[in-house]
Amino acid sequence: MDQRDEGTGSLRLYAGALALGMILTGCAGGPSQEDPSWTLVPITDVSMVAGEWEGTVKEHGAIIPEGTIHLTISENGTYKFVGQRLDDVALGSGFLETRDGRLSGDTERRIATLALYDHEGKAVLVVDSTARQTEKRYHLELTRTKP
């Protein structure tokens, strides 16, 4: 194989990896402006999302979820969660307030924004959170288990 063939092979490999990444990102799920099956439902009152929710959590940019989470939201705006990964368990609580059709939570440990979506007739709570200490960002998609 000569120099020209090696360069072409590397370019093909890079293009293939890029295409695969774009396909996997597109199939990773979650709300997207291009996907009409996800409709934002403005949250006007915390009671709209009060109850128990479960789902997956992944670090921002990751394709595969890292763990699971159980979130309980009370009608007074307080919340509690338990998250579990292979090597870690996280617990937390705080207070949520409505802001611009979403919920916002801000504690010493994290900042979170919660948005409610209708996805093919099913309520999905999408949470984007940033850990203050590490500045790691997380994406959660939760479905209601109990009202």
Residues 17 and 55 in one domain: no
Residues 26 and 42 in one domain: no
Q: Which residue has the tokens 């960002």?
A: 137
Q: Which of 52, 58, 75 is nearest to 123 (CA)?
A: 52
Q: Which of 79, 77, 131 is nearest to 109 (CA)?
A: 131
pLDDT at 62: 85
Q: What tokens appear for 31 in the block?
A: 């709300």
Per-residue pLDDT of the chain in tens (147 residues, 90 and over written 9): 444 444 444 333 333 333 333 333 333 446 765 788 999 999 999 999 999 999 999 988 888 888 999 999 999 999 999 999 878 888 999 999 999 999 999 999 999 999 999 999 999 999 999 999 999 999 999 999 988
Q: What is the pTM for the complete model shown?
A: 0.75
Domain extent for 140? 38-146
pLDDT at 35: 83
pLDDT at 113: 96
Domain count, the chain: 2
Residues 110 and 52 in one domain: yes
pLDDT at 116: 98
